[in-house]
Structure formats: C-alpha cells, structure tokens
Structure 1
C-alpha cells in the first residue's frame, strides 16, 4: 500500500510540473507565432532551452547528493517534459514541408538536433563548473 501512495505522489508532481511547463511553452508559442512555411523559432528555442535545462538539472541532482525523491519527476519529467515539445517539432516540420518550404523544414529538422544535443552537454558542463565554484567558495 505504501508503494501505491508513492506512485500516486509521483504522478501528482509530474502532472503539476507538466501543467507549468506546458503553460510556459504555450505562452511562448502564442507570443511568437509563425505562419506555415516559416521557421518555428518559438518551438526551436523552447526545445533547445529545455535540453540545456535538463543537462543542468540532471547534473545537479546527480552530483549534489541527497535531494527529495519527487524533485526529478517534478522538474525533469513534469516541467521540462511539458515545456519541450518534440511532437510539436515533428508537426512543424510536416507543416513547413506541406507549405512547400522544404528548405525550412530540413533546416529546422537538422538545426534542432544540431543545437539540442550539445545544449544538454553545455548544461551539464555549466552545472559542474558552478558546483566546483560553489564548493571552492565553501573551503
């Protein structure tokens, strides 16, 4: 029964985080809309930023030590999972291609991967550097 309670609390924080992340993404896409065939900058920036933040988060959680068991599900799966939108990424590629903007679709397809994967690494590197400075300051 205790395990069932832990599962429900995890689902609860993922849901709450997902609402926050999804609303943030929706706000950005509403503030910066794009017509079919144009480069979807809001989604691009959202996904690359989300990847950077997941690199920071996972490094901090793994290297700081003991953190609350619901922190990673809330921030990682919930907030950042709701914030990033790789399903929207695929839809935007299809819309650009359908609008006859094949070059834009291909640039977006490649550009997101070329930027998002290194963003995770950059986030991890930045988090480690920050932790080193904080530890050095305490000694």
Structure 2
C-alpha cells in the first residue's frame, strides 16, 4: 500500500511539475530511489509518464487558448519552434521554458506524432540522467 502511494505521489508530482503549477518531481524521484521503493526502471517510467502527460496538457491548452501577448521570451521561443520544429520539445523538461515550448507547440498546431515523441523522449532522458546520477552517488557514498 505504501509503495502504491509513493508511486502515485511520483506520478502526481511529475504531472504537476510539467504544467504551469509548481512541483518537484526530481526530488520525489531521488527520495524514492534512496528509499529503495520499486525498481529504478519503474520509477523512471512513472515519472516520465506523469511529466509527459503534464506537458501534453500544456500542448492541448495551447491549441484551445492561443497566446496573444508578445513578450521577449514568446518571440524567441516561437522562432526556435518554427525553425527546429517538434525537435525543440526535447528541451520541454527545462523549467519555465519547457512549459512555454509546449504551449507554443499547441498554438502552432504542430503534428501530434512528432510532438509526443520528442516531448516524451526529452522528459525520459532527464529522468534517466537524474536516476543515474543518484545511483552513482549512492554507490560512491557506500
């Protein structure tokens, strides 16, 4: 039961971290890795799924509520998205900028297949790096 709640907390934190709401999915992932909750691959998968669904929520919001205000960040990010396409979403894990990338991908009506692939891959790579660094640190410490 407590493992299930831990995994649900990881999913929830990962989802919220990918939306405009604050979250700390990396901290939850690290805490669960240190506590030995579940296999590492499962923790990475759950964090990736939650974070990817949160990012896709931003893409959907962008499709329904296009951003009309032009800001310095809006112009730069839009130019990146137009130039590099969905591959830009490999950076969707970045704080603040990643949320804007996802929103603008929706505003620009990018195709779903490449958006989903690049967004999920970028978020998975981030969690793999966090987990690997945590495990490496645990091995070094012992």
Q: TM-score range by the shorter chain?
A: 0.3 to 0.5
- Highest relative contact order (Cα 8 Å, sep 6+), 1 or 2? 1
- Bigger Rg over Cα: 1
TM-score (norm 2): 0.35
